Amino acid sequence: MPEAPKITQKPAEYNLELKNKKILQFIEDMTSNADEVQKTVLEEILSSNAHVEYLKKHGLDGRTDRDSFKNTMPVITYEDIQPFVERIANGDMSPILCSKPISEFLTSSGTSGGERKLMPTIEDELGRRSLLYSLLMPVMNQFVPGLDKGKGMYFLFIKSEAKTPGGLVARPVLTSYYKSSHFKDRPYDPYTNYTSPNETILCQDSYQSMYSQMLCGLCQHKEVLRVGAVFASGFIRAIKFLEKHWRLLCNDIRTGTIDSQITDPSVREAVMNILKADPKLADFIEAECSKDSWQGIITRLWPNTKYVDVIVTGTMSQYIPTLDFYSNGLPLVCTMYASSECYFGVNLNPLCKPSEVSYTLVPTMAYFEFLPIQRNNGVSNSISVPKTLNEKEQKELVDLVDVKLGQEYELVVTTYSGLFRYRVGDVLRVAGFKNKAPQFNFICRKNVVLSIDSDKTDEVELQHAVKNAVNHLLPFDATLAEYTSFADTTTIPGHYVLYWELSLNGNTPIHPSVFEDCCLTIEESLNSVYRQGRVCDKSIGPLEIKIVEPGTFDKLMDYAISLGASINQYKTPRCVKFAPIVELLNSRVVSCYFSPKCPKWFPGHKQWSNTD
């Protein structure tokens, strides 16, 4: 993930080599002394927050040592602190979770009750996030030198924000970061030399933002040494945008003028500083974009690109084949692992294969603990609700330096901004160690069955949405015998597919519009992050229901049993990923229906009256 594209002048005393060296030394020191650093971090967090209501309530009594902390404080999920969060959102300024003033809420893509989770944050956290960003390029420089000699073309966006009833801003963590002075007014750094001017990133209108960033990227195509976005899905969306709009973009480059749909004056001004009439470049782009195949379009249009910087771990791995196609197999580089709760770690071996990516947690970011987990062959096919840990389970949590190679853990964090022993919901596996600090493969997000972009739909939500939708079938004496789902990323944007097997008792034919209503009802019932992706970001396509022949789910069971599933314990998986199973389902589809329009979505939370 990139840093701020601002400053242009190199100060006389600037020494890149020395700066890189210092940062690598910092990583050496932090990882060598991981346990001591963690101890200090916990002491700092607990002593500065000794008087907050939450710690007092649990009787920590100002103690700052690990044992007292572990014996006194419960391991929690969002639902446990939601009442405290709501009080803060409603304007209670007393030190509830954190002694420092809450500066804003970060709206997580994880949801609770269909709404985004609200993570309180404090001003200092911006510094910690900047620190993690500052580690990325010195690490990269060890593997790909010379990146200071050119530019990065990154597609970065802000999202809408809302105000809580108490007046605090609530927005996604990256929106908060890009709007902060840490990003906008950074001092000179050759690694923050980007093709997108700040104004294009900070433009609220997603079309204008994407168009202007693409235009600037094309104009400076020879200078581009690396390309990227935060997640793979975002980068693919940018390529799709180019596929749709290259004629307009070429026209602008040919004439040196900006299309009239770009109306934001600050965006126009920033782009005009870069755009020059260049008919030759326009001809070149036109020739490349009009070819039948878009294979290797990235290396063709940006010929000096060394790698694609996007997250392709976790559910984003579904986009690897598409990225390989567009980039002709350039390295896909995952640099960091972060969340709204806390920025966690960096990849110290960025040129490794996506399947081997591991993140080294940076011990200064927060106090980390790990809950050992056992999974059934990696397959979970029953509805799981977050369960409270009993005393024995709470005692099983281990510290950062005590995790075991090969073991899987759920990540638990204690942050500077008021989360104490908070279960993030991510499952990680220990892949190795950098000095004393473990390195983790990202395995999955607990319970999530479907994800296209930043949406995370769990099985309970899906079940609830399907239940609402099947009400449309009641007048036809039809019931849903079985269902499963699939995140289809062969379309751009990707979309959710539900496979439905019906049992029909009546004779009245079911009109296609009934199934379309079912699609829309499911979408209306899904969480706010999903609906935002559909409505606002257009990062998710219309939901599809595929009706399959009677007996299809029996065949699915037969297939699972042939692969070794136990007949007694077999339950229909509520989501499928394995290609032969998806093929089996697709071979038995009798009809398909799509959601006819977008579901409703508004910024902010249901209960807030909105600002933006």
| Least Å from the CB of residue 571 to ligand AMP | 25
Which residue from 55, 170, 173, 400 is in contact with ligand AMP, where contact means CB under 6 A? Answer: 173
Kindly report the number of other CB atoms within 10 A of residue 552's CB atom.
Answer: 22
| Residue 439 or 521 having the CB closest to ligand AMP | 439
- 339 touching ligand AMP, by CB under 6 A: yes
d(C-alpha 220, C-alpha 226), whole Å: 12
- Compute how many other C-beta atoms are within 10 angstroms of the C-beta atom of residue 450: 24
**Contact with ligand AMP (CB under 6 A) among 175, 220, 313, 441:** 313
Among 109, 220, 305, 417, binds ligand AMP (CB under 6 A): 109
**Token duo for residue 54:** 């939450």
Contact residue for ligand AMP among 41, 122, 219, 334 (CB under 6 A): 334
Residue 51: Cβ-neighbour burial (10 angstroms; 0-12, 13-18, 19+) = exposed
Stretch that binds ligand AMP, among 108-116, 267-275, 280-288, 381-389 (CB under 6 A): 108-116
Rounded distance between C-alpha atoms, residue 246 and residue 215, angstroms? 9
In terms of CB distance, is 180 or 295 closer to ligand AMP?
180
Identify which of 487, 446, 459, 406 has the alpha carbon closest to the alpha carbon of residue 574.
459
**CB of residue 25 vs ligand AMP: minimum separation in angstroms?**
25
H or E stretch at 336: strand 336-338
Q: Which stretch binds ligand AMP (CB under 6 A): 179-187, 232-240, 307-315, 585-593?
A: 307-315
For residue 546, the minimal CB distance to ligand AMP (Å) is: 28
Report the distance separating Cα 395 and Cα 397, nearest Å.
6
Number of residues that bind ligand AMP (CB under 6 A): 17
Minimum Å distance from CB 110 to ligand AMP?
Answer: 6
Residue 442 is a binding residue for ligand AMP (CB under 6 A): yes
Amino acid at the residue 162:
A
Which residues between 450 and 489 bind ligand AMP (CB under 6 A)?
Answer: 454
Tokens linked to 486? 């699939």
Specify the pairing of strand 224-231 against strand 151-155.
parallel
Q: What is the number of other CB atoms lying within 10 angstroms of the CB of residue 590?
A: 11
Q: How far is the CB of 229 from ligand AMP (least distance, A)?
A: 13
What are the tokens at 210? 């994407």
**Shortest distance (Å) from residue 280 CB to ligand AMP:** 40
With CB under 6 A as the contact rule, the residue among 197, 314, 533, 573 that binds ligand AMP is 314
Shortest approach of ligand AMP to residue 107 CB, angstroms?
Answer: 8
Residue in 20, 31, 103, 108 binding ligand AMP, rule: CB under 6 A: 108
Choosing from 264, 426, 455, 459, the residue that interacts with ligand AMP (CB under 6 A) is 426
Instruction: List beta partners, residue 154.
Output: 228
- Among 49, 233, 305, 340, interactor with ligand AMP by CB under 6 A: 340
One-character DSSP codes across 245-311: HHHHHHHHHHHT---TT---HHHHHHHHTT----HHHHHHHHHHHTSS--TTHHHHHSTT--EEEEE
Supply the minimum distance, in Å, between the C-beta of residue 311 and ligand AMP: 4
Side chain identity at residue 19, one-letter code: K
Residue that the structure tokens 């954190």 belong to: 98
Residue 455 or residue 501: which is nearer to ligand AMP going by CB?
455
Q: Which lies closer to ligand AMP via its Cβ, residue 38 or residue 532?
A: 532
Asked whether the beta carbons of 250 and 331 are under 8 A apart, the reply is: no
CB of 448 to ligand AMP, least distance (A): 8
Q: Which of 194, 246, 326, 337 binds ligand AMP (CB under 6 A)?
A: 337
Least distance between ligand AMP and beta carbon 177 (Å): 11
Residue 341: Cβ-neighbour burial (10 angstroms; 0-12, 13-18, 19+)? buried
> Cβ 233 to ligand AMP, closest distance in Å?
12
Stretch that binds ligand AMP, among 220-228, 260-268, 309-317, 537-545 (CB under 6 A): 309-317
Q: Using the rule CB under 6 A, is 311 a contact of ligand AMP?
A: yes
Span interacting with ligand AMP, options 105-113, 185-193, 373-381, 394-402, rule CB under 6 A: 105-113
Going by C-beta distance under 8 Å and a sequence separation of 6 or more, which residues neighbour residue 23? 134, 135, 138, 139
Stretch that binds ligand AMP, among 29-37, 330-338, 427-435, 589-597 (CB under 6 A): 330-338
The C-alpha atoms of residue 521 and residue 465 are separated, in whole angstroms, by: 7
Q: Which is nearer to ligand AMP, 5 or 110 (CB)?
A: 110
Nearest to 193 by CA among 18, 16, 4: 4
Question: Which stretch of DSSP H or E encloses residue 559?
Answer: helix 552-562
Determine the Cα–Cα distance for residues 349 and 328; give it in Å rounded to an integer. 21
CB of 465 to ligand AMP, least distance (A): 21
Give 468's contacts (C-beta < 8 A, 6+ positions apart): 521, 522, 524, 525
Nearer to ligand AMP, 120 or 314 (CB): 314
Quick one: which segment of 212-220, 308-316, 468-476, 497-505 binds ligand AMP (CB under 6 A)?
A: 308-316
What crossing angle do the helices spanning 279-289 and 206-219 adopt, rounded to 10°? Answer: 110
Give the residue, chosen from 158, 338, 498, 518, that forms a contact with ligand AMP under the rule CB under 6 A: 338
Among 424, 465, 478, 581, binds ligand AMP (CB under 6 A): 424
Smallest separation, CB 454 to ligand AMP (Å):
6
Q: Which CB sits closer to ligand AMP, 481 or 535? A: 535
Nearer to ligand AMP by C-beta: 300 or 445? 445
Residue 271's region, left for phi above 0, alpha for psi from -120 to 50, else beta, is alpha
Which residues of the shown chain bind ligand AMP in the complex (CB under 6 A)? 108-110, 173, 311, 313-314, 334, 337-340, 424, 426, 442, 445, 454
